[in-house]
Each structure stands twice: as C-alpha cells, then as structure tokens.
Structure 1
C-alpha cells in the first residue's frame, strides 16, 4: 500500500518528470482516495479504461495519455466531463506520464521498441538531455521487408511502409534506424538529415510519404497505440516488483 502523493513522488523520481518539458502535466492529475493498493495501467485514460478500472476496484489509474493538454479547453464538460466525473464519483486517482514514458532509457516506449527489434547503441536524435526521437543500429543490415516483419511480430500489426515500391530502394539494406513512438512522423526530416536508413513512428501523414521518398529513407508507421503500449506497462510492472502493489495492464484496442 502507498499514499497517493507518495506514489506520485516515486514516479516523478523514477521517470525524472520534472526535468522534461511536456505538452500536459505529468503526475497526479485527478486526486482520489489516499491509500493505493490496486492500480490499473493503460495507454489512454478513456472512459472505457476508467470503467474497466471501476470493475476491478482499482484505487488508481496510470496512463501515458492523460488529460489537460496544451491548448485544450479548460472546461470540464462533454466527454472530458463524463470521464472526470467517473473518476471523482468512484474516488479513483489518475496519474498521467507522457514524454517521460517515451524517453526513459529503461522503461520508455522508444527503448523498449528498439530492444524488441534488435536495435542497440541508442542515442538522441536531438541535441538535448532528453531527446524525444532516438536512433541506433542493427547488428547486421537487413531488408525493409525483414524489418517490417520484426515490427509486426513485436507489435501484432503490419506497419505501413513508405517507398518500398520504388525500384532504387529494392536492394537497399537497413543498418541505422530512428525511432519516435506515437505521433512522431515529422521527425523523419531530422532522421534523414542524420543519414539514417530508416525511421519508425506510430502515425503517418500525407507529407510523410513524400519526405521518405525524396530524402532516401524508409519510413514505417507502426500505429500510435501499438507503439506506446509497452512503456506504461513496464512502469506498472516496475511498481509491482519494487513496491508489491497489485498492478494490472488493460489494453483497450485502438486501430490508430
């Protein structure tokens, strides 16, 4: 059992959240009961996830995508009102950690995806202490088709691959790979400027295809939700291992 504010302190320390500038507040976003024994983790604090947590008598929900995003309306009404009402009525704490769960070197989405794909020697693409996109190397060069198969095996879905149909790419092998899980498709230009062979993110925009083709870099869109399941799941497992809490990850399917 942990006090709800103590849990926030533990998570802030482990994820170094105070050192990371983000688009939403990290930490305890909606306060509930003071004593926490049961935690439900998930990617997004949707109403579906909240209702599943209620069924399981959870004291807290820990997510990657919480509330109160930059430029979001401050009014608690409509969809947001229904979600927050369910949390308050059921006295459930909501903790949200966004970029800290993307960039953590052990428990982060980028690091965990790289490990699953056999990408090592991770470094930041940006010249900052906590670079959001990272890049690394495969032990031996592989084809785009093989990397696509690795992604599918790791995430359970076939990624969208740009420029594989262009003849000049048919024999190009991949050695260096950039990663930014979630909605990081626009980092493809930075990855291309660094001379990387490929870049992986969750989403794809119309412009991404042209960026990939014109700059000579493979692009894999592997799903926003799919690329960001493992980080928050790993944080929850760490809490269970270190503090003996009852933690359960619930995957609410999302095709995006």
Structure 2
C-alpha cells in the first residue's frame, strides 16, 4: 500500500480559500483556518458541525485536519474560553489537529456548495440564484425534472435525506419551479414567492412563514438544518482527497434539527 505523502496545511488552506472565494463574502464567522494544528496534512475528517463528538472521532482516527461547515467564533458569542468552548479547543490543541471551517462560501459554491449538491440529489436543475444579480447567491431557483405534488416532493426528500420533512401547503398547485436554500433561511420564502416559485425548501421553519406560505400560495418545506447541509462538506472533502492524494472520512453526527 502506497503511503500518503500529504500536503502542507498552508497550501491546502490557501487552495480552499481560493476555490471558495472567501474574500468575497461578508459572513457571521471567520472562514478558513480557525484553529492551527500540525503543519502537514494527510488525513481529513469532515462533518457538518465542529461539536465535541466530531472532535472525539477526529482524535480517535488520528486526523490531521477537521473540515466543517459550522465552526467557531460566531459574531455575538461570548469571548471567554470556558466550559464547552474550552473543552473543544483543548481537544484540538492537545491533539495538534487543525480546524478548517467554511460557512456562506460553502453554501454558495456552484460545484461543492450545499445548495448545489442538495439540488443535484433532489433532481433540481439550477436556473439562477435566489438573489437576482448576485453571483454569490446562497440560494437557488430551479426546475424539477418533472412536476410533483407537495406530498410527492416530500416523499422524494424523505427518501434522499432519510427524514420526514415538515410541509406547509400553499394550495393545490403542482411543484415545477422550486427555490431552496439549505440551513436556516426561512424568511427567504418571500424572495422565492416574488420570483414565482411554486415551493420553497430550506432547513428550518418559523411561526410567521407558515401564514405567509398559506396566504401567498407557495408551498413551504422544512427538511432539517443538519440534513440539508451534509453534502457540501463531503463534496469538498472528497475533492481535496483526490486533488492532494489524502485520506478522507465523513462522519455524520446525528442531529434531528
């Protein structure tokens, strides 16, 4: 068996930053290297969120780098390194493991992004961004491979994602044009309706959008924040493994939300 040579961490991070165009996004957290570990990377472990369970898997697998969609240091979070934050950072630093995180840039990427990957899995052809005129739109508008009823679309989502989505009916209209944005993007249903979409798909739902969907006549589908955002980080991890000749493993830490 050929031994993996690995890649310099600095080179890998620079490559990711360029591919995801991180300098073009205004985000709620720092994108890129969040915690510095060993300088050489051979093993990448990917996951949706840098929770303690994922870090424990990384230590057990002897990963050199953890790549996630939800990392640390969010705007408005408490600054002191205590409690859960201390334990997580201690785990990474004690094992000399790098933490690499990409939020909005990973949502929006046309090839490795959460939205692009989810659309492909659900048989949706992307037509445009959900934010007209914005080449970095984090949501999309597309067309299904065939028109479906709301129940049929829910069944397709359940089959692909392995969980039953919550749906709000916007009437009897079939779903042909659909807008979607993974994660937490409930208020973007208004943009979807303005663009003429028959349905809007995201991860979460809030009380006001139930009434909006019913009154505006647009179907609303909440398929899970975690469930809709599992695919971008996997795609990026697989790409990095191929590109640099690395070992890659995705770990899905169960999250019902």
What TM-score, normalized to structure 2?
Answer: 0.95
Equivalent residue for 2:188?
A: 187
Equivalent residue for 2:91?
A: 86
Distance of 1:117 and 1:230 partners within structure 2:
12
Q: Secondary structure at the match of 2:176?
A: strand
Equivalent residue for 2:7?
A: 2
2:107 maps to 1:106: no
Q: Tell me whether 182-191 or 124-133 shows the greater mean CA deviation.
A: 124-133
Distance of 1:139 and 1:30 partners within structure 2:
42
Distance of 1:23 and 1:200 partners within structure 2:
22
Deviation at 1:129, TM superposition (A): 2.1
Distance of 2:115 and 2:91 partners within structure 1:
32
Distance of 2:25 and 2:12 partners within structure 1:
19
Equivalent residue for 1:39?
A: 44
Distance of 1:136 and 1:217 partners within structure 2:
15
Show structure 1 runs of 5+ residues with no match: none
Measured against aligned partners, the alpha-carbon deviations of 1:59-111 in whole angstroms (never above 9, x if no partner) come to 11000000011111222111111101111111110000011111110111111
Measured against aligned partners, the alpha-carbon deviations of 1:16-37 in whole angstroms (never above 9, x if no partner) come to 1111221111100000111111
Q: Is the 8 A contact 2:70 2:103 kept in 1?
A: yes
Show structure 2 runs of 5+ residues with no match: 1-5
What TM-score, normalized to structure 1?
Answer: 0.95
Distance of 1:139 and 1:247 partners within structure 2:
32
Q: Secondary structure at the match of 1:240?
A: helix
Deviation at 1:172, TM superposition (A): 1.6
Q: Tell me whether 238-247 or 221-230 shows the greater mean CA deviation.
A: 238-247
Equivalent residue for 2:158?
A: 152
Equivalent residue for 1:17?
A: 22
Equivalent residue for 2:64?
A: 59
Q: Secondary structure at the match of 2:143?
A: strand
Distance of 2:45 and 2:123 partners within structure 1:
29
Measured against aligned partners, the alpha-carbon deviations of 1:187-236 in whole angstroms (never above 9, x if no partner) come to 01111111210000001111121111111100000000000000000000
Distance of 1:134 and 1:11 partners within structure 2:
22
- Give the alignment's Cα RMSD to 1 decimal: 1.1
Q: Is the 8 A contact 2:202 2:224 kept in 1?
A: yes
Deviation at 1:150, TM superposition (A): 1.1
Equivalent residue for 2:78?
A: 73
Q: Secondary structure at the match of 1:199?
A: strand
Q: Is the 8 A contact 2:150 2:169 kept in 1?
A: no
Measured against aligned partners, the alpha-carbon deviations of 1:106-126 in whole angstroms (never above 9, x if no partner) come to 111111111111111331111
Q: Is the 8 A contact 2:126 2:140 kept in 1?
A: no
Structure 1 residue runs of 4+, over 4 Å off? none
How many residue pairs were aligned?
A: 251
